Chain A
Amino acid sequence: SAVISQKPSRDICQRGTSLTIQCQVDSQVTMMFWYRQQPGQSLTLIATANQGSEATYESGFVIDKFPISRPNLTFSTLTVSNMSPEDSSIYLCSADGLAGNEQYFGPGTRLTVT
């Protein structure tokens, strides 16, 4: 299984600012994913990031708000732009598994917007 790390692990940010979350995988993976878990809710997919192409966003999420980079096969970033308190969530990245049928998750970034 892939080992995935995220930075920062948590942050408290002011309204109107932006935060970039980094996700590093210890092996090359084809697909990386970004999820959000709002308080008391399930994990929701934000977008899928493939190396060398634009990220694919799920309904309700747009590139201007959540720009994503995928410069190589082991790294991705998610930026939460122009933050509001409603963006307070845990943000998780994941990557496709070597077996091909499951995703492996990073530890998450706990974001609080004041």
Chain B
Amino acid sequence: DQQVKQNSPSLSVQEGRISILNCDYTNSMFDYFLWYKKYPAEGPTFLISISSIKDKNEDGRFTVFLNKSAKHLSLHIVPSQPGDSAVYFCAASANGGSQGNLIFGKGTKLSVKP
């Protein structure tokens, strides 16, 4: 049973517009959430994270929102750029992101069209 779900395998957005990537989780013990970006033939690159004590974290063009009651988080990219085209993975942890098991979703492939 998947504990972290990314229900959209792909997303296409026009350059300059907002990209919204969604992630749902089932385990209420998760207390830390991360987004990773992955280009082909490369490993996942850490993008942004959020602790369960917050509902929003912002870093430049990237903002992550956490809705604990809905067990839902989303990554907003504004404005989207062609270089943002990659697979985005949502990950969750029950004991801090570096201390152990990260549970990953299957990823969403984002295509930003010029």
Contacts and interface: CB of A to CB of B under 8 A. Distances in A.
Report, as a range, how many residues of chain B touch the other chain: 20 to 34
Contacts of A9: 41
Interface in B56-114: 89, 91, 96-102, 104-107
Interface string A63-95: 000000000000000000000000000001010
Contact of B106 (A42, A103, A104): A42
A43 B102 contact: yes
A51 to B, nearest CB: 15
Interface in B29-68: 32, 34, 36, 41-46, 49
Interface of B: 2, 4, 32, 34, 36, 41-46, 49, 89, 91, 96-102, 104-107
